Amino acid sequence: MSDQIDDSGMTSGDQPEHTEQSGQPASMPQPTPAQAAPPMPSAPCRPSNPTYPPQYRSVNPYVGQTAQAPSYWQTPQQGYVPSQPQSQPQSQQYQAYRQISPQGYPVLPAQPYQQIPPYRPYHTYPQPVLPPRQAPNGNANIPMRGVPYPYPPVPPIPQVPVYPSAPYQTGAYWPQAMPQSRQRAWKPQRVLTYAQQVRRAVGREARLVLFYCVVMTAVALVAQMTIATVMILQGTPESAIDGDTFINRISGAVSLIALVGCAIYLALMRARDPLWHGLPRELWLELAGRGQRAHRTMTPVVFLVSIMLILGASDVYSFVLEPALDWLSGVFGAKPDTAMDSIDASMGTLAMVLYAGFFGPIMEELLFRGLVMPALARYGKVFSIVTSAVLFGFFHTDLLQGAYAILVGLVLGYIATEYGLVWSIALHITNNFVFSDLLSRLLAVMPQTAQNVVGFGLYILVGIGSLLYLILRRGKIREYMQTNRSLKGTLAACWSSPWFLAFLGLSLVFACVNGFTTA
């Protein structure tokens, strides 16, 4: 059924019972009490004066009758307005249009149709009028083909040719392999365990020290051969060059040249290490007690105690290690030959004094306490101090000097960790230059009795003082070790590093080969 019914097809007898011929709503018979429905509130979406245009009818699906809506008149500017005011109140108007469905539910008339406002086309802008094409003689009536307009024509869109597809045949199209992508295939990163990380870090530092020794030895050999060649060209006899006197005389200069090569090696291998960024200023700040690597401020008492402990290590060297080496060499029928003997024999030259007293300690501290120890500090302070001390001892490739260097390295490592690198350098220079060179020269000019009294008295005093200090401070030392200990398995991972074991093995073999001579 269409919602719109033409009025021309209806007669007066076809009018609904609740409307009159004039189109005005008539009073509807009141329903019985059984059919009466409770009053319903007015819907908020309905207008206060519901009027309907004459061309629309609301159809009640339950009753099957069509209601004539009031007439409207339309003005183009104001829309729809009521043709006459409504005299009935709003409740009576709703009551007049209320109906009862066959099921007994109150039914309100359908929503009135809302007419869409008239369509306004978009504003058309005036198009430019092109002049007619004219012939060359000015006659516009003659049609001319090929004479262009003043405006350039739009180029035609090229037509894409359509190629007919070949019919599918069984077996005619074989699957083709996809081309290889130029982008690298993603590879999952290897996740290292804690032991593997420790092993890799220790191996990296042991490899650095091992090649440091290789570079030092190679540069020293090249420098020694160069000096010998120059002296031979100057007329020096070869017999004077082959002796130990010549080697002791040039060993200081050769060692200084080797240090230059080692410095270049460290600068190239660890160019991005934070040690080199502002090193002189950082050392000055540590000297003043405001360095970034220093946790404590150095005091004269701490400095003197450190010197006492280093000299106490020399007591261990003189009264424990040296007698043990003499006994071991007597068992095997060999004579001990340590690096300290060659250093003492060549200390008469200025180059050896500069090397052993100043530049050697500086380079060793930069290597072991400036590069190696900070790289291992993430696994524990105690672990980094002990490991760097072991590498420092085996670096000397000498049995006695290596054992003594391990004890000294423990003290220097603690000082560099807590007070700064500049103080470990100062202690190293003080030990090598003041007590090993100047004190030895001072004792050499004294009578033999004075030498024995001063020498043994100093050894006994330093030894007893160091032992008492370690006994009295054993609680603090144990607390420091417990606070800064490493995780379980760190030491085992360190001693299973291939590069670490290779460095220790080569150093030990070299020390044993050069540490003994036939009796």
Q: Where are the beta strands (DSSP E) in 283-352?
A: 334-336
Looking at 188-192, 296-300, 399-403, which range is the least confident one? 188-192
> Which residues are CB-neighbours of 518 under 8 A, at least 6 positions away?
333, 334, 335
> Which residues are CB-neighbours of 499 under 8 A, at least 6 positions away?
202, 203, 204, 206, 207, 210
pLDDT for 283 beyond 50: yes
Residue 24: which pLDDT band, with cuts at 50, 70 and 90? very low
Chain-centre distance for alpha carbon 493: 26
What average pLDDT score do residues 324-335 get?
76
pLDDT of residue 23: 44
Q: Helix H segments across 234-243?
A: 238-242
Looking at 45-59, 127-141, 237-251, 458-472, which range is the least confident one? 45-59
Q: Are 347 and 248 spatial neighbours (Cβ–Cβ below 8 Å)?
A: no
d(C-alpha 482, C-alpha 494), whole Å: 19
> Which tens digits make up the pLDDT trace of 489-499?
999 999 999 99
> Which residues are CB-neighbours of 349 under 8 A, at least 6 positions away?
248, 249, 251, 252, 253
pLDDT of residue 492: 94
Tokens representing residue 127 in the block: 């198009």
Residue 134: which pLDDT band, with cuts at 50, 70 and 90? low
**Other beta carbons within 10 Å of 326:** 12
pLDDT for 15 beyond 60: no
Tokens representing residue 469 in the block: 């200090």
Question: Three-state SS across 250-287?
Answer: HHHHHHHHHHHHHHHHHHHHCCCCHHHCCHHHHHHHHH
d(C-alpha 432, C-alpha 361), whole Å: 8
d(C-alpha 37, C-alpha 27), whole Å: 18
- Tell me the three state secondary structure of residue 73: strand
pLDDT for 47 beyond 50: no
d(C-alpha 3, C-alpha 23), whole Å: 18
Tokens representing residue 108 in the block: 């309100």
> Which tens digits make up the pLDDT trace of 348-391?
788 888 999 999 999 999 999 999 999 999 999 999 999 999 99
> Which tens digits make up the pLDDT trace of 136-169?
555 555 555 554 545 555 566 666 565 555 555 5
Cα-Cα-Cα-Cα dihedral of 44, 48, 49, 54, to 10°? -20
pLDDT for 402 beyond 50: yes
pLDDT of residue 176: 53
Looking at the whole model, is its pTM more than 0.75?
no
Tokens representing residue 172 in the block: 């005619």
What average pLDDT score do residues 417-434 get?
93
Tokens representing residue 440 in the block: 């030895």
CA angle in degrees (0–180, nearest 5) for 101-103-104: 70
pLDDT for 55 beyond 60: no
> Which residues are CB-neighbours of 447 under 8 A, at least 6 positions away?
none
Nearest 5°: phi and psi at 147?
-85, 115
> Which residues are CB-neighbours of 213 under 8 A, at least 6 positions away?
395, 397, 507
pLDDT of residue 439: 85
> Which tens digits make up the pLDDT trace of 62-108?
444 444 444 444 444 444 444 445 444 545 544 544 455 555 555 55
How far separated are the first and last CA of the chain, in Å rounded?
133
Q: What is the DSSP letter of 137?
A: T
| Amino acid, res. 60 | N
What average pLDDT score do residues 317-343 get?
76
Percent of the chain at pLDDT above 70? 60
> Which tens digits make up the pLDDT trace of 106-125?
555 555 555 556 555 555 55
> Which residues are CB-neighbours of 481 under 8 A, at least 6 positions away?
382
Chain-centre distance for alpha carbon 84: 82
Residue 319: which pLDDT band, with cuts at 50, 70 and 90? confident
**Tokens 């960790």 correspond to what residue?**
417
d(C-alpha 53, C-alpha 23), whole Å: 11
